[in-house]
Structure 1
Amino acid sequence: MRKLLLTGLGALALLAGACNKTKPTTATATPGELTALFAGYWERQAPLFPLAATSQGDNRYNNRLVNDQTRAFRDSLAGLYQGYLGRLTKFDRKQLAGNDLVSYDILQYDLQTRLDGLKLGLAMGADFPNSWMIPFNQFGGLPLALGQFGAGTGAQPFKTVQDYDRWLGRVHGFPVWADSAIANFRAGMKAGVVLPKTLVVKMIPQIRSLQTTDATKSLFYGPITLLPGTFANADKTRLTAAYQKAILGELVPSYKKLGDFLEKEYLPKARATTGHGALPNGPAQYNFLVKNWTTTSRTPAEIHDIGLREVARIQSEMNAVRTRLVFHGDLKALLAYMKTDRRFFPYKTPEDVLNGFRAIQGRMQPNLKKLFGRTPKTPFEVRQTEAFRAASASAEYNQGTPDGSRPGIFYVPILDATQYRTPGMESLFLHEAIPGHHYQVSLQQENTALPKFRRFAWYGAMGEGWALYCESLGRELGLYKDPYEYLGALSQEMHRAIRLVIDTGMHSQNLTREQAIQYSLDNEATTKEAATAEVERYMAIPGQALSYKIGQLKIRELRNRARQQLGGGEHLREHRPGQYQNKYSLAAFHDELLKDGVMPLDILDQKMTRWADAQ
């Protein structure tokens, strides 16, 4: 998955059908005024989400840490969204075309969705929409994000003396944020809006791991160990003392306070139930979250049924591979074999695992030009996930900066290299790295013709749907030659189909955590530990896991429709931007799909329909 950071506008997907609800006034604004509106909105929201700005390469707010835990902050967001939604009514949508039309629809959808979420009691500016009475969990939130920003190797720059001082300014805001977060947790305890106990148990050691009595042993001391040799000695001495003081005087006490609260006060009040539907107003919130993450109007029940059908279809394909392998046993036995046989565990060190992924990149690199005319300029790296969060982390992609100063990074959690399995590595790389998230995110950010609110947008249905779709390109890219690796890819697709069943089951059909874990174990090649971490992720961020399969199915539908409409073969020998043929080519389809960035699926459908008609 793409790492969910504090992303400001575009972190949310959108409700279907909203674009035609606003009636234009009789006075129509000019295209220049529309462009100014887009730019003005971006500038207004950017300081409200300073961590997002940092991750996007905008360093103007690197010293800020906004306390987004207050009612005043949520009210300010509502005012901002309502104000810009009203200003959009000056424009006659019927007079717009091309990217102006797409931008209009996206901004209108997004503003309306954010307002709808706030009315339901959801915090719409956090890592992911959730009740404001649950400030963070084991999967995300500021306490974990702060560790990544402050380690010295993440999005926060530490190149100049000013950079180092700016980080200290950000640290100074954390104690107040922590106190406000505890107050919100307590409000949730009174209202019955609390996390499941099994999630809180995972949060406590995460928070405790960031406590220390020796500042030099802290994760946040990382920038000091990396102090540039070009700094003056006086600056080195001053910054070292300041960082030690900040760690022991502000960060550690705040993490200790959070850890003590979670362990002594919150854990005893945490709930035994699994799904979001068990919370007050939970069913209405979950319905919204399903719409938000899938950008469709499909109900939880409809998505549950799609999941069951996809599980059955993928099982059939896996059984066909099993037959070709002449494996003596049923599919469950084959999956068990893939989870235990030593042939699938060749690695000894974390670097061995990372090199395994780098080798995959080398094998498929020559074939990329057959499927893509546009390739990103942003550098790319494979790294091991930091130890403090590896136990509950999934493999993920962290975006680079548009100017290339920070690469896109594929993070791989490796708890024990000797237990890292090879089946599924190829499909994982296609999804998280190339051509999945790295191509999609980088090409979008590098497209300076887009308004900034679109360059840095994120809609999980298209973004994760694209990444999952990329897993199906393995054979076309020279991978999946080993049938067990193809089985690993099918198992990964099964994993996303299972999500449709489990997420909707837990949050709307009373499926328990234990039943969900067993369903995973029965249908995919995974371990109980991995299945548990995944299920608890779905418990933490309801609806997010639905975006992958729903988006993939839509992209596959668009590809099939374009091929049928335009005719011709799937491939050109080599494709370059601006050299599209009237005859359909897969490279042309991919380039068109990606060039304007992520967007809600309905808007994507309209855009791709216009493109096909124009061919």
Structure 2
Amino acid sequence: MLKKITFLFIAIATVYSCKQEPKKEESSNVSADFATLLDNYYEDGLRLNPINATTAGDNRYDDVFTNFLSDDFAAKAKTHFEGYKNKLASFSDEDLTESEQMSKAILAWECDINLAEFNYKANLTPIDQMWSPNLFMGQLASGSSAQPFNTVEDYEKWMKRVDGYLEWMSSAEEKMREGMEKGHVLPKSLIKKVLPQLESLTTEDMDTHLFYQPIKNLPDSFTEEEKTALTDAYGSMVKDKVIPAYQKLHDFMKDEYAQMGRESSGIQGEPNGDAYYAHQIKKYTTTNMTAAEIHDLGLSEVARIRSQMEEIKEQVGFEGDLKAFFDFVRNNKELMPYTDPQQVIDNFNAIHDRMKPQIEKLFDVKPKTPFEVRRTEAFREKSASAEYNPGSLDGTRPGIFYAPIPEVTKYNVYSDESLFLHEAIPGHHYQISLTQESEVLPRFRKTLWYSGYGEGWALYSESLGAELGLYTDPYQLFGMLGAEMHRAVRLVVDTGLHYKGWTREEAIQYSLDNEAESEASIISEIERYMANPGQALSYKIGQLKIMELREKAKTTLGDNFDVRQFHNQVLETGCVPLALLEDKINKWIKEKS
């Protein structure tokens, strides 16, 4: 999963230039005006969402945290998208190049989907255990993420940003109180998961407090006076501002809010829940599929993958049914060989080394952005999934694959190869880094994120393991099938929860019956889907579309099909709605035929 915080909407070095869309013809006045429009959209977007700039490596707004819950922000955001939608209408497709036409279509999609968001009350549940801004701010606070801590000014900027963030926290409580009155509240089970996250940041131990960590890594270039001043300032900030804010929010959610928590598990339990879920499906899959269609597709995919799993079960000589085999894999101590978290990290790096000799066969364009594997920070890893955080646009900050290791002796390795392919290479790291390194794409397209495409590519990448010299061990191949099953199950349980009215417990049981994830992991996953309806649908929908397009190209082109060129075609556009990707690949196939 690529970690993108929802309020932003906007992911090993080899010397290759990124082959992108054909160069534009000599710019006409229309092209120049259109380029200016796209650039202005990007710049205005950074001012509207300044953390988006920080994550991209643009440090102009590092001292700002916008209160995304304020009425002022809502008015500005609506004006932003309505204004650019109107400006876009003045450009005719006939006057634009093919690349510009795609940018126009993408920007129109951006404006429409973001304006549609205002029809719902998502801001009345601003905090959850998985997706909300407070979790990402914790990453920034650690001093080891996108927020820079290299100069005295950097340290001072962060303190100003924290002031804005604490204003947001206060607004979050106000919005939740409004939600309590209007029937928009979190399910009780999710509230229970948020509380320890908030409580961990009420500790008065400065050595362990997340927001104090940058002081423990003050650069040697700072003078003693500067170090003393910053140490005092950060101590006061944490003790006098941060801790009280977290304590206040924790107490409110523990007492008043928890009493009002929903008993229902799906978004149907909220007013206008069905319409909101339809919007979420469109936003995350970038299709017009209905919940009913997706549920039926999920059931079909689960049945198909189960039959392949049966073959692996027979191959390893396991006697018993598939559900018993799931339990065997979940609890097989031979698949839990580690005693030190670093061994998990080392294993992922070893997987990368095994792939390197084969990567040229599938990719002739590779990113320059560095890449690292890191353990997920302790404050959030109990509720976190493995995820990828993009490098900076200029390549100075690496792309990072975060692996949660809450209990290393219970860490099961059976799915590590597929996980690396998804989160790292050639999954999110290739897809996002190549987009960011493009010299052709306009800036606003370099930081876009559509789950249907982005997560679809990452899941498609898992299917490339055999071609990359992996999956030679039957358990790792089973891990790949398990990961695909995990995404197929999502189609069933996400629509089950939010469309068919399933309970949390029914969704958990369906997952336990059909996949080999641990019960603890499945519970965390089901609660993730509860917190963000529709997001989990994007993986399988996107994967199936990319696989369909590859098979179509291979069948049509025959001996002229080159998988490396197909991958270039998919990756060079950056994140796009799936319908636009399909149009592009169909045109490429026609040109190559």
Q: Which residue identity is paired with 1:610?
A: K
Q: Given that residues 29 and 90 in structure 1 are in contact (C-alpha distance below 8 angstroms), is that contact kept between their aligned partners in structure 2?
A: no
Taking the TM superposition and a 5 Å limit, the aligned residue runs for 1:120-159 are 120-121=120-121, 131-159=122-150
SS of structure 2 residue aligned to 1:107: helix
SS of structure 1 residue aligned to 2:149: coil
* Matched-pair identity in %: 47
Q: Given that residues 50 and 65 in structure 1 are in contact (C-alpha distance below 8 angstroms), is that contact kept between their aligned partners in structure 2?
A: yes
How far the C-alpha of 1:347 sits from its partner, in A, is: 0.7
Counterpart in 1 of 2:428? 437
Counterpart in 1 of 2:517? 526
Q: Given that residues 10 and 453 in structure 1 are in contact (C-alpha distance below 8 angstroms), is that contact kept between their aligned partners in structure 2?
A: no
Counterpart in 2 of 1:295? 286
CA distance in 1, matches of 2:520, 2:208: 29
Taking the TM superposition and a 5 Å limit, the aligned residue runs for 1:106-117 are 106-117=106-117
How far the C-alpha of 1:9 sits from its partner, in A, is: 5.1
CA distance in 1, matches of 2:394, 2:29: 33
Counterpart in 2 of 1:15? none
SS of structure 2 residue aligned to 1:214: coil
How far the C-alpha of 1:448 sits from its partner, in A, is: 2.9
Q: Which residue identity is paired with 1:325?
A: V
CA distance in 1, matches of 2:260, 2:458: 38
SS of structure 1 residue aligned to 2:207: helix
CA distance in 1, matches of 2:85, 2:243: 42
Cα-to-partner distance string for 1:279-313 (whole Å, 9 max, x where unaligned): 10111000110111000000000000000000000
Matched, 1:92 2:83: no
Counterpart in 1 of 2:200? 209
Residue 260 (structure 1) aligned to one of 251, 259, 265: 251
SS of structure 1 residue aligned to 2:388: strand
Counterpart in 1 of 2:176? 185
> What root-mean-square deviation, in Å, do the aligned CA atoms of Structure 1 and Structure 2 show?
1.3
CA distance in 1, matches of 2:209, 2:346: 28
Counterpart in 2 of 1:596? 573
Counterpart in 1 of 2:589? 612
How far the C-alpha of 1:10 sits from its partner, in A, is: 3.8
How far the C-alpha of 1:145 sits from its partner, in A, is: 1.3
Q: Given that residues 151 and 220 in structure 1 are in contact (C-alpha distance below 8 angstroms), is that contact kept between their aligned partners in structure 2?
A: yes
CA distance in 2, matches of 1:481, 1:601: 32
Specify which structure has the bigger relative contact order, considering alpha-carbon pairs within 8 angstroms and separated by 6 or more residues. 2
Residue 535 (structure 1) aligned to one of 526, 545, 568: 526
- Greater displacement, 94-103 / 273-282: 94-103
How far the C-alpha of 1:172 sits from its partner, in A, is: 1.5
> Structure 1 pair 141/9, CA: closer, same or farther in 2 (3 Å)?
closer
How far the C-alpha of 1:326 sits from its partner, in A, is: 2.8
CA distance in 1, matches of 2:414, 2:401: 18
Q: Which residue identity is paired with 2:545?
A: K
Taking the TM superposition and a 5 Å limit, the aligned residue runs for 1:190-589 are 190-568=181-559, 583-589=560-566
SS of structure 2 residue aligned to 1:444: helix
CA distance in 1, matches of 2:433, 2:424: 11
Cα-to-partner distance string for 1:66-85 (whole Å, 9 max, x where unaligned): 11111221111111110110
SS of structure 2 residue aligned to 1:61: coil
SS of structure 2 residue aligned to 1:403: coil
Q: Which residue identity is paired with 1:4?
A: K
Q: Which residue identity is paired with 1:375?
A: K
How far the C-alpha of 1:5 sits from its partner, in A, is: 2.9
How far the C-alpha of 1:52 sits from its partner, in A, is: 1.4
CA distance in 2, matches of 1:460, 1:167: 30
Q: Which residue identity is paired with 1:175?
A: L
CA distance in 2, matches of 1:185, 1:136: 9
Q: Given that residues 196 and 271 in structure 1 are in contact (C-alpha distance below 8 angstroms), is that contact kept between their aligned partners in structure 2?
A: yes
Q: Given that residues 6 and 131 in structure 2 are in contact (C-alpha distance below 8 angstroms), is that contact kept between their aligned partners in structure 1?
A: no
CA distance in 1, matches of 2:390, 2:339: 29
SS of structure 2 residue aligned to 1:388: coil
Counterpart in 2 of 1:39? 39
Counterpart in 1 of 2:24? none
SS of structure 2 residue aligned to 1:383: strand
How far the C-alpha of 1:174 sits from its partner, in A, is: 2.5
SS of structure 2 residue aligned to 1:458: coil
Cα-to-partner distance string for 1:191-227 (whole Å, 9 max, x where unaligned): 0110000000000110000112233331111111111
SS of structure 2 residue aligned to 1:208: helix
Q: Which residue identity is paired with 1:312?
A: A
- Greater displacement, 598-607 / 169-178: 169-178
Cα-to-partner distance string for 1:334-388 (whole Å, 9 max, x where unaligned): 2111111211111111001111111111111111111001101010111000010
Cα-to-partner distance string for 1:245-264 (whole Å, 9 max, x where unaligned): 11111111111111011001
Structure 2: give runs of 5+ residues left out of the alignment. 12-27
CA distance in 2, matches of 1:557, 1:384: 35
Q: Given that residues 6 and 51 in structure 1 are in contact (C-alpha distance below 8 angstroms), is that contact kept between their aligned partners in structure 2?
A: no
Counterpart in 1 of 2:69? 69
Q: Which residue identity is paired with 1:111?
A: C
TM-score, normalisation: structure 2? 0.95
Counterpart in 2 of 1:60? 60
How far the C-alpha of 1:233 sits from its partner, in A, is: 1.1
Q: Given that residues 174 and 250 in structure 1 are in contact (C-alpha distance below 8 angstroms), is that contact kept between their aligned partners in structure 2?
A: no
SS of structure 2 residue aligned to 1:525: coil
Structure 1: give runs of 5+ residues left out of the alignment. 12-27, 122-130, 569-582
How far the C-alpha of 1:320 sits from its partner, in A, is: 1.6
Q: Which residue identity is paired with 1:490?
A: L
How far the C-alpha of 1:50 sits from its partner, in A, is: 1.2
CA distance in 2, matches of 1:263, 1:337: 38
CA distance in 2, matches of 1:456, 1:7: 14
CA distance in 1, matches of 2:360, 2:151: 39
TM-score, normalisation: structure 1? 0.92
- Greater displacement, 536-545 / 345-354: 345-354
CA distance in 1, matches of 2:373, 2:551: 33
CA distance in 1, matches of 2:115, 2:291: 22
Q: Which residue identity is paired with 1:383?
A: R
Cα-to-partner distance string for 1:542-579 (whole Å, 9 max, x where unaligned): 000000000000000110111112112xxxxxxxxxxx
Cα-to-partner distance string for 1:30-57 (whole Å, 9 max, x where unaligned): 1110000000111111111111110111
How far the C-alpha of 1:404 sits from its partner, in A, is: 2.0
Moved over 4 A (4+): none
Q: Which residue identity is paired with 1:30?
A: V
Counterpart in 2 of 1:78? 78
CA distance in 2, matches of 1:8, 1:29: 32
How far the C-alpha of 1:396 sits from its partner, in A, is: 0.3
SS of structure 2 residue aligned to 1:258: helix
> Structure 1 pair 163/246, CA: closer, same or farther in 2 (3 Å)?
same
Q: Which residue identity is paired with 2:290?
A: T
Q: Given that residues 5 and 133 in structure 2 are in contact (C-alpha distance below 8 angstroms), is that contact kept between their aligned partners in structure 1?
A: no
SS of structure 2 residue aligned to 1:173: helix
Q: Given that residues 4 and 10 in structure 2 are in contact (C-alpha distance below 8 angstroms), is that contact kept between their aligned partners in structure 1?
A: no
- Work out the number of aligned pairs and report it: 576
Q: Given that residues 372 and 587 in structure 1 are in contact (C-alpha distance below 8 angstroms), is that contact kept between their aligned partners in structure 2?
A: yes
CA distance in 2, matches of 1:68, 1:318: 45
SS of structure 2 residue aligned to 1:382: strand
